Structures are given as structure tokens and as C-alpha cells.
Structure 1
Amino acid sequence: MKFLLFPFSLLYGLGTFVRNQLYDWGVFSSTKFSLPIISVGNLSTGGTGKTPVVVYLANLLKDRAKLASLSRGYGRKSKGFLVANYSSTAIELGDEPLLFFNRFKTKMLVCVCEDRVLGVQKILERFKPSLILLDDAFQHRAISSSFSILLTPFKAPYFQDSLLPYGNLREAKSSAKRASVIVVTKCPTDLSEEQKQEYVKKINPTQNQKVFFSSILYSNQIYGKFGTLQTHEIKDYHVLCVSGIAHSKDFERFIKEKALSFTEKSFPDHYNYTTQDIETILSEFKLLPSPKIILTTEKDYMRLNEYKSLDDKLYFLPIDLDIQPKEEFDSLILSQVP
């Protein structure tokens, strides 16, 4: 019955085409700011791996620029412009901005604002950074970014997808030409150079676009409020794996292969956990034999950490990024530093 959605995709595509043309013709204005702005985004809806890419960029730039990040703050209950601080919660900021703040503290100013132009203006007025990372902003053409990174997951590339609601694309595949670089995310770690070249042919980048390939790196430690465990020690524990992220299967598979036993509890992406959810999680946890832990993603930990009843049970597994060719990618990013 999915084919019934196709006519609606045609209408949606017409709307996004007209919108993009109006920006291209200058009918809709794009604000250009005096400092470099690196935007990270995608053509599809969620699950492309933006968070580890932003973390990678922040790690690269934090000691080379006075750095700020701006996100919409998806899933937050607040409105307007906010700056992360030590008392901020995921309800106020959203889970991803809170993750950025917990990772980088004073090394990167972390802000949220649903109006990105207003958000950048307020950042410039109050903090005067030298470079801004704009999160999930490929469609946000009201700002003219100096460098645009388009992400596409290896197993679900945009060139094999269709427009909403028939598919998952927010705008037409041809919009990829606006990107400065394209990063293929969540790649197998053993991807050969030949396979990469075949993939690049399918992307068919413009003459000035570079294509990079990235893989997820799981930390060798998991972290809880009262301590850490080595990742290899998961084999000694019965694990209740709790996740509320898009496309959680890779994360769950990694844990399942290492745990003494594995039970999963999945929720929708950016899920706001309720007291009832926590009671359900604890009920399932009680059924597991000892020794046991609850293990979640770093993003989910930003929300679950607020529940004191989980304090001595809850751990998270951080992820980082390997991107190839690393030197070329890093050089392109660092060229944006004023």
C-alpha cells in the first residue's frame, strides 16, 4: 500500500523544489555572517550519524578556534535561545546539545535556538566566537554556510531513497550538489579502496566535491555515575540494553556480541523517558540474574541520567569516529579556521 503515498511525494517534491529555486534566485534571502560557519546535515530523516561527526569536528577545532555550536534542540520542551551550562538538562536543551556540553564543557560554547539566524546573531553579540558549528542545518538555507558537510549512511544512501512520505528524503537527491563535501557514515571497517571507488561513482559528486568514508569507533570503556568498566568486561554481566535512537541495531549488535546475556528495550529516537518508562525498565532489570547492568547510548544517557533510581545501575558506551582519508578531511576543516 506504500505506493499510495507516491503522489504526495510528488507534491512534497514540488514544494521543496520551488523553495530551493526561490533561494537560488535570491527571492528568499540567505544571511551571510562575517565568521566561518560549518554546517552538518543530511537529505534524509534521522539516523545518519550527525552527532559523532559534530563531536569529531569539535575535537579537531576546540584548541584551534574560539568555538561555538548551534542546534535547534530537537525534542526540548523550552523555546528560544539558550546557552548550555552545568545545570542544563536534556528537557531544556535536547539530548544532543547536552551531550556536546558534557563532552567539551568550556572548550565549546553550546547553544540552541529554533531560529538559526537569530541564534547566530545572539552568539555573535554575546560571545564573539571565531567559528560556529551548525548542527542539522543542510535544509536551513536562511543561513549561508561557508562550508557544508552532507552525511549519508552507507547502508541507506540518499541516492537509493525517495522523497517523503514515500521515502525518507527531505528534499531531492540533486540538492546534494550544494554540499562542500559528502561523508558516507556508518561504513564497515574493512571497506576496501575498490569498494569506496564504486560507491563514489554511485554518488556522482560534482567536480569540486570530495567524498569521505567514516566508521563508528566504540570506546574501550563504559561510564556510569559512580565509575567505569572496561568494554571487554561486559562479558561478565547480564545486560539490559536501553536505546532511544534511530537505527539502533548496530549498537545493540555490538553489545549483544559482548554481553553474558542480552535483553533489549527500544524506544523512538530522541525519546523523552517518563517515570512509567523507568519503572518498566527497572522491572525488566529485576528479572535479570546478577551480576547485571543497564547499558545505553551516550545520547540516551543525557535523559536517563536524570532518574536517581538508575544511578548505580546505568552505564553508557561512548562512540567516536574514524574518517578516511583523515589528513585530507582534517585539512579541509582546518582551512576554515580564521
Structure 2
Amino acid sequence: MFLFICMTNLQLLIVRSIIEKEQLKKVDVLFIGDVDNVKNQYYLKKIQPLCRHSDIVPQVAKFSTFKTIQRTRYAKKIMEKYAREYHTVFFANFHVPLIHHILSCITFSEIKTFDDGTNNINQKSIMYENKNISATSKLIRKLMGRKYHKDEILKLDAKHYTLFPNRTNIIEKTEGIILVHHNGLPDTNNGFKKVLLGTVYTDALKNKEDECVFLQHLQRFIKKEAVDIYIPHPRYDSHQFNGVLNVSSEMIAEDIILEYLEQGMSLEIYGFNSTVQYNLNNISTIKNYKITSPFLKDSFNHGLGFDFNQVSV
């Protein structure tokens, strides 16, 4: 049996590709995220025909005291609906403590991982941050139910599936996987649109207090560049901009953009180091622009070696 642990809609799409590529049977899927998010429900439903069992559970609360014990209890509660033993456990977020706790309350033969968007190839991302945890702290945590940490996971990782096989990855043992297929797109040009891809601005900004100011800058950018379409990030979809089509959809940005391409449109896409842009980078009718700003964290301003034009906000 095989267990996949996901935390984003993109990861669900990657999981589907892995299941189909490896022709896996007896698959269980666990999604950790917003239970009420329509996109989460939509993409989990799409993968269910390939699964033996699937479920969605909320992210663990940020406990101030006895974090390890609380997470251990929560992990055991989550896994009550799942098997106690798996041949292979697949996941992307090898740095997330809750996943370490889940691994600690089941048995498995091997671990395999897959990309969490561009975080694996962005050396400024959280995945490249290292915390020094003493042997004593690890022993205490083990006694409280946490057997694994990031460094142990990386040593155990048997294979990593990546969307970017030609890029340096934090995990060396990589195998490429295709997420977006676009062979059937029409050759005719039925128009031109400019698309702005949103991000989780509170995560992207150096100072969360600059959120309102930065959104005002983006509003001016939309007007200046005559942007036609705004596709918000699934975790930041409450804000709407003026003078632009604010897309509200169950689908993620890749699928929304592919629908425009299937109508024969050419697109200019503006984004914040967005995985969406890298997934669609080899499509000739798309021109990508990377947004930079002194308001943004280094991980968002950091170039990843793709041939994108840059615009400053």
C-alpha cells in the first residue's frame, strides 16, 4: 500500500501524475489544509477514483506549550482512519513537523518525495533553512512521539519527483515528472490577454504591516500595464482589484490559463516566482514576467535561472 500526504492543490496534481506514471494501486491520500476551501475539495474529488481512501484534515494549531505531545496526539487521531503500515510514503513538505509526527506513528519501508512548487529549487526558500537541534532535544522529542526531523527524512529519501529535472534541487536523487500537457492547443490567435497571478502577500512581504501599501502598488501596476485578468492565490482569495476581471473558480491557475489557451489566446503572465509560470514556461503563446519589489522577501525576488522578463512594483 502507498500513502500520499499533500498540503496544496498543486501537490494533488503531482500525486495524480505519480500514481498514473508508476501505475500504483491501493493508494491512500491524506490532504492537510483548509477543509472548507472549494479548490481543495475540487482537486481531492478529482483524485478519489485513483484512491482506496482519501481524507482532508485541518492544519495543526500552533500550540504554545507541549507542542511535541500535542502534535503526536493529533497525528495519531488523523491516522485512525488509515492503515498502520505502508510500503511507501510520498510527500513534499519534508520540513513540516506534523508530517514527521505522522511518519512516527506508522511503519513504512521507504520514503519518496516530490516538489513543493519552486521551493525545492529556490535556495532562498524555507526548505533550505536549517535549524540546529541538539541530540538531547531529539531524544526528548522521540520519547514524546516524534522520531523524525528534516535531516533524517532527507537521508531516508529514496527518490524525489521533480517538475524541474534540469535544475539543482535540494534533493539529489531526482526523477522528472510532467504536470501540464498542452499538445492539443490551437494554432489560431483569438486575442491577447494580460494575467496577474496573485500570491499569499502576507507570506511574500518582508513586513506584514506593508500589506495594504503593497496592494495599493499592485492596483497602480494593474492600471499602468492594463492587466485584464487577476487570478488570486488559493490561500489569499478575499482581496479584489478594480478595473480587472477577478477570477473566482474551483480550478487552480494552471487549469484556468489552459482554458484561455485552448480558446486560441496569447497571454502575458505576471507573477511572484510562481510555480504556475514555470510549469507553463515552454508554451510559445505565453510570455512570462517576474515581479520584483523592495517590499518582497529575498525568496520572492530571487531569480531561478528562467528566461523571464522582470518588472518592478
- TM norm structure 1: 0.40
Higher relative contact order (CA 8 A, sep 6+): 1
